[in-house]
Amino acid sequence: MTEIARNTPTTANIVAYADIVREHQLRRQLSRMGRDLNQQALEGNLLNKALIETTERQLFELAEDRQTQSAGIRSALSSAIDTIDRAFNAKDGITGTPTGYKDLDNLTCGWQCSDLIVIAGRPSQGKTTLGMNFVENALIATAGNTVLANSPIFVFSLEMPEEQLMLRLMSSIGRLDMSQLRSGRLDDGGWEN
């Protein structure tokens, strides 16, 4: 067990591991280029000068791509490590905005900032209601959370105008009957909700 623990890779060396993977990928590309060069030289379809120019261009592109990828990979790797660290330290494993649906949160870890959520289906199947439930739950979850408090929520509906969406949200949050809101027949308790 001690040997397994000692030989288990850690995230402390993740940059070195990524460099090793990138070096092996570069070797595969060089090997493929060499194989292609050998085949083209044996076939003799290209003039030697054209073959040399093509090979030089490919090598130059590979070297140039490696330099730009190196900077991009380091930044992406750093971001990925931060994401893993945040997930490791998150209570309940929820790293994004909670949906209010435990099983869905377990699958998605909450709505992530980079996610675009699309709810699609046939008319009158509850898409808007579900979507507005997600919005309500997100608003409630982020209300006391300083990290998530500035998370934007954008709702786009082809079936319903914004006023009607807001009435539905108010009805749900205030636990009011929708007809009371539409008719304006609210008692004192309704106005307080």
* Ramachandran class of 176: left when φ > 0, alpha when ψ lies in -120 to 50, beta otherwise: beta
- Predicted pLDDT of residue 27: 87
**Structural domain tally of the chain?**
2
Tell me, yes or no, whether 142 and 172 share the same domain: yes
Tell me, yes or no, whether 55 and 78 share the same domain: yes
One digit per residue, the tens of pLDDT, for the chain of length 193 reads 566 556 655 666 777 777 788 888 888 888 888 888 888 888 888 788 888 888 888 888 887 776 555 556 777 788 888 888 888 887 777 888 888 888 998 888 888 877 778 888 888 888 888 888 888 888 887 776 655 556 677 777 778 888 888 888 888 888 888 888 888 887 766 555 5
Identify the domain boundary among 89, 120, 145: 89
Neighbours of 38 (CB within 10 A): 10
Place of tokens 């300083």: 146
Give the range of the structural domain holding residue 122, as residue numbers without chain letter: 102-192
Tell me, yes or no, whether 82 and 106 share the same domain: no
Angle at which helices 48-89 and 14-43 cross, to 10°:
160
